Every structure is written in C-alpha cells, then in structure tokens.
Amino acid sequence: MTTSDPRRGVPDGSPDQLAAQLIRLVRLAHRAKAKITKAGPEGLESAAYAILFHLVEGGPQRASRLAETLHADISTISRQSSALVDHGLVERQADPEDRRASLLAATAEGLRVFEENRRHRNRWIAGVLADWPEEDRRTLNVLLARLGDDIETRGPLGEDPPHRANRGESS
C-alpha cells in the first residue's frame, strides 16, 4: 500500500518518496556535519572543510581545480581557502608547472584537524549503524556509491554531465 505522504506507508521506490528521503538525509547530514566540524578553529565556515578534505585526499591543487571539483564559484573557493590559510590549516605553494600560479596544500595542522573531524564523523556513523547487520551496511555503501555516480553523470533537467576529475570524491 502506498500513500501520498512520501514519509509514511510502504516504500514504493517512487521518485516522490526517494526525493523526500534524500532531502531528509541531506538536511540531517548537514546538521550532523555542522556539529562534527566544530573541532576546527572558530569562525571557519563548515563549507571550507570540503576544500580541506580535497587537499588532504588529493594533494596540493589550484583553486580553479577545487572550484570545478566542488562545483563552486572561484570567488567562494578563494574566500574559504583564505580563511583556511589564515587559520593555518592550508598553505599556498608555488606551482612547479607554472611559477606564476599557486597551489593550495594542507598543512600539518590542517591534517590534524581533518583527522580529528574524520574520527568524530566515523564514531558517529558507527553509532548510527551499530544495530545494522554487516550485510546491510555493505549494501547501503554500494547503493550510495551507485547513486552518487549516477547523480554525477546525469545532470538535472537535461544538463550536460559535470566533469569528473576524480571518481570517489566525497565531503
């Protein structure tokens, strides 16, 4: 039996139910992320942690590449990376391929803050899924990866798919 309220009734896989659950999940994840990223310096936007994540995981990068990867405006990346530099979490380095350009790189303190946030996040996720059987956790991981891949490759409203510089990226 299905119902018009996507949060109730037997899940039927309809786009409406899936969209409602995705919206709920994104909202809950955003709230959790805001609490988890409190381990860093005061005054740092939680969105800046996405930059730190990509620098830790992918190594030094130009701001333009980060903007493309994060689907953000270069001015947003510039503002957030400047805050990361001011807090000592990121440093600017000369680009060996073009000395006129600079790369952003995580500092030792940036790596420490990142790892502390990762530990908090992983402890929280482990607690949320503590009662789930191992097979359910594996299935969830596979389905989330598949959904992420499909969202990346199929732009909304018929848009061209975004460039995928590094599969397996997440924040």
- DSSP output for 24-73: HHHHHHHHHHHHHGGGS-TT--TTHHHHHHHHHHH-SB-HHHHHHHHT--
Q: Read off the pLDDT of residues 103-134 as tens digits, 9 standing for 90 and up.
A: 999 999 999 989 988 898 899 999 999 999 99
Task: Give CA angle at 45 (19, 60), nearest 5°.
Answer: 95
pLDDT at 81: 95
pTM equals 0.72
Q: Read off the pLDDT of residues 42-80 as tens digits, 9 standing for 90 and up.
A: 667 777 888 999 999 999 999 999 999 888 999 999 999
Structure tokens at 164: 């995928």
Q: Read off the pLDDT of residues 129-169 as tens digits, 9 standing for 90 and up.
A: 999 999 999 999 999 999 988 888 887 755 655 554 444 44
- What is the average pLDDT value for the chain, to the nearest integer? 84
Structure tokens at 161: 């798919």
How far is Cα of residue 60 from the mean position of the Cα atoms in its chain?
17
Domains of the chain: 33-154 (1.10.10.10)
SS3 category, 83? helix
